[in-house]
Amino acid sequence: MIVLTPLDEAALVRLLEAAEAGADPLDVMPPVGGPPGWTSARRDAFLAFHRARCLDPATAVERTWVIDADGVAVGAARLESHGDAVEAGIWLARAARGRGIGKQVTALLLAEARASGAAGLVASTTVDNRGAQSLLAGIGADLTVDGDEVAADLRLGRSR
Ligand X SMILES: CC(C)(COP(=O)(O)OP(=O)(O)OC[C@H]1O[C@@H](n2cnc3c(N)ncnc32)[C@H](O)[C@@H]1OP(=O)(O)O)[C@@H](O)C(=O)NCCC(=O)NCCS
CB-based contact 81:115 (threshold 8 Å): no
Secondary structure letter of residue 99 according to DSSP: S
Terminal-to-terminal C-alpha distance of the chain: 26
- How many Cα atoms sit within 13 Å of 77 on the Cβ side? 28
Q: Does 91 bind ligand X (CB under 6 A)?
A: yes
Contacts of 160 (CB under 8 A, 6+ apart): 114, 115, 117
Q: Least CB distance from residue 29 to ligand X, whole Å?
A: 12
- Using CB under 6 A, pick the residue from 138, 142, 148, 155 that binds ligand X: 138
Q: Does 43 bind ligand X (CB under 6 A)?
A: no
**What is the C-alpha to C-alpha distance for residues 130 and 102, in angstroms, rounded to an integer?**
12
Q: Which stretch binds ligand X (CB under 6 A): 30-38, 61-69, 86-94, 113-121?
A: 86-94
Q: Which stretch binds ligand X (CB under 6 A): 10-18, 29-37, 111-119, 133-141?
A: 133-141
Phi-psi region of 31 (alpha: psi -120 to 50; beta: other; left: phi over 0): beta
- How many Cα atoms sit within 13 Å of 143 on the Cβ side? 20
- Using CB under 6 A, pick the residue from 6, 41, 81, 134 that binds ligand X: 134
Report residue 141 CA to chain centroid gap: 17
Q: In the complex with ligand X, which residue's Cβ is closer, 100 or 117?
A: 100
Q: Which stretch binds ligand X (CB under 6 A): 6-14, 50-58, 109-117, 131-139?
A: 131-139
Residue list 111-130, contact with ligand X (CB under 6 A) = 125, 129-130
Number of residues that bind ligand X (CB under 6 A): 19
Q: In the complex with ligand X, which residue's Cβ is closer, 8 or 27?
A: 27
Q: Which residues bind ligand X (CB under 6 A)?
A: 27, 90-92, 97-103, 125, 129-132, 134-135, 138
